[in-house]
Amino acid sequence: MSPADALPRGAGAGLGLAGTLRLGLFQGCLGCLAVIFAGMLNRVMISELQFPALWVGGALAFEQFVAPARVLVGQVSDGYPLAGRHRVPYIWLGSLGFCGLAVLSIPLIFQVARLLQAGDPTRLAGGVLALCGLFAAYGLAISLASTPYLALVIDRTTEQERPRAVGIIWCLLTVGIVVGAISIAIGLRSLDGVRDPALLEPALFAFMLRVAAVVLLLTLVATLGMEQPAHRRQLSRSRSQSSGRDDAITLRQSWALVTSSPQVLVFFLFLVLFTLALFLQDPILESYGADVFGMPIAATASLNALWGIGTLAGLLLAGLWIVPRLGKLATARLGCQLILASLLLLLLSGLVAQVPLLRVVMVLFGLAAGIGTNSALVLMLDLTLPEAAGTFVGVWGLAQAMSRALGKVIGGGLLDLGRWLQALLPIPAGAFPPYALVLGVEALVALVALTVLSRVNLRQFREDTGRSLSKVLALEIG
């Protein structure tokens, strides 16, 4: 049973602006939690609790490593309704899961810190594994909630209003990032200068508990009544055979289609490099503010707010003005160039360690990220064959998820490598050189992404993949 057939007639009759804004509250909640996990917690683990950065990046990466589960979650949501509904019950279950795990993460992190201080390798290894398992479970819970949520957006919107709805919801994700950063700055202001774990743990636990309660409440507000009970009905066999949709393409065919076109692989590589260029500094950004600029927890949280404001402005600027005037590929090139320039400015700002300069650079970096992300999303839509939409969207989504995971691991690992080299080689003392290594490598990745983008050809992509799809399907029939 497909999502469209599972829903009653008229379920996709349109949400309207008010309904879209209400449904988008959930996406805003995900943005808020992303700031807390990717920003506040990694800063506390690296700067306050002295975890090796590779541990932190590796543990956080497990949230993205489980991203392939989204395919299975989508299939279960399509075929197995709960309480007569295909979407909302899964959203609620996933939300309960990730909110509960967010609260449990605080005592686990501090327990691992105590094991690190005790110096018991066996118990410490178990604690680190438990931390990785918690972040993996958190990622699965996010998948369980967000995949049916996106399907619900598609179910409830008409084809005409869907682009606007997706744009609004994407902007609300960024708004959630800003709100989350502001909440951290206000809620944890009393922890400025505090490094004692005995004081940090209860304060962070209470803060996370409040955040989880608000997220659950807003999830109910966003989704309650958004889905009508599903009515089972038998699909016509002729329709499923003649529809030509991508659900008729098997996993083996999907892989053959992807690997048969050089242009698919080129764009896949571009997405991996582009995402790395955006998020390689993600696990160490707030620690950069703490160690190099001397900023407290509440102040480093504001860096994400500034980045989010810039990203929102970049998304709107690119969508409303730059892409219509320059075109998709030219805007993507501009976005990569601006990201490269922003990373170099972020690197150079550490030499003077002036907080106002860092804040200006974060807004510029967000603006560049918004312009680049908007053009990359438009290119993704253009480089997707209607006959195999699910296959291509899955491939592009996998590229982004895996590169974000690698960004967390590599970013943390490079910081540890920089500290090791600093102790081994005649490198100037201070906190800046190891962070300079991370940002320098990230700038180099942005430069390589720009080079790979020059090899993307829209016309050749459509010709190559169109021929490849016909060959793959013909071979399967034969």
Is 385 in contact with 254 (CB distance < 8 Å)?
no
Rounded Cα distance between 397 and 382, Å, is 15
Closest of 31, 39, 27, 29 to residue 279, by C-alpha: 39
Mean pLDDT is lowest, of 117-131, 235-249, 410-424, for 235-249
Please write the tens of the pLDDT for every residue from 253-297.
556 666 667 888 888 899 899 999 998 988 899 899 999 999 988
Better pLDDT: 261 or 64: 64
Mean of pLDDT over the chain:
83
Rounded Cα distance between 384 and 367, Å, is 26
Cross-strand partners of 321: none
Mean pLDDT is lowest, of 137-141, 159-163, 183-187, 374-378, for 159-163
* Confidence band, pLDDT 50/70/90 cuts, at residue 239: very low
pLDDT at 410 over 90: yes
Question: How distant, in Å, are the alpha carbons of 39, 302, 303, 349, 475 from that of 298?
Answer: 11, 7, 10, 20, 59
For 254-465, give the CATH class.
mainly alpha
State the average pLDDT over residues 193-198. 86
Domain 15-228, second-level architecture: Up-down Bundle (1.20)
Better pLDDT: 80 or 2: 80
Mean pLDDT is lowest, of 96-110, 195-209, 301-315, 455-469, for 455-469
Closest of 114, 134, 117, 116 to residue 125, by C-alpha: 116
Query: For 382-389, which contacts have Cβ atoms below 8 Å and span 24 or more sequence positions?
Result: 382/328, 382/458, 383/263, 383/264, 383/267, 383/456, 383/458, 383/461, 385/462, 385/465, 385/466, 385/469, 387/244, 387/245, 387/246, 387/469, 388/246, 388/249, 388/254, 388/257, 388/469, 389/246
Rounded Cα distance between 302 and 207, Å, is 16
Is 202 in contact with 190 (CB distance < 8 Å)?
no
Rounded Cα distance between 470 and 96, Å, is 44
| Residue 245, pLDDT score | 42
Tell me if domain 15-228 and domain 254-465 are identical in fold: yes
pLDDT at 146 over 50: yes
- Kindly list the domain boundaries of the chain, sorted by start residue: 15-228, 254-465
Better pLDDT: 74 or 467: 74
| Residue 106, pLDDT score | 95
| Residue 75, pLDDT score | 72
Rounded Cα distance between 473 and 477, Å, is 6
| Residue 478, pLDDT score | 43
Q: Taken in order 376, 380, 381, 382, is the CA torsion positive or negative?
A: positive
* Confidence band, pLDDT 50/70/90 cuts, at residue 113: very high
Dihedral of the alpha carbons of 112, 113, 115, 121, in degrees to the nearest 10: 80
Rounded Cα distance between 302 and 64, Å, is 24
Cross-strand partners of 85: 82
- Within 8 A by CB and 6+ apart from 28, the residues are 172, 173, 175, 176, 179, 218
pLDDT at 159 over 80: no
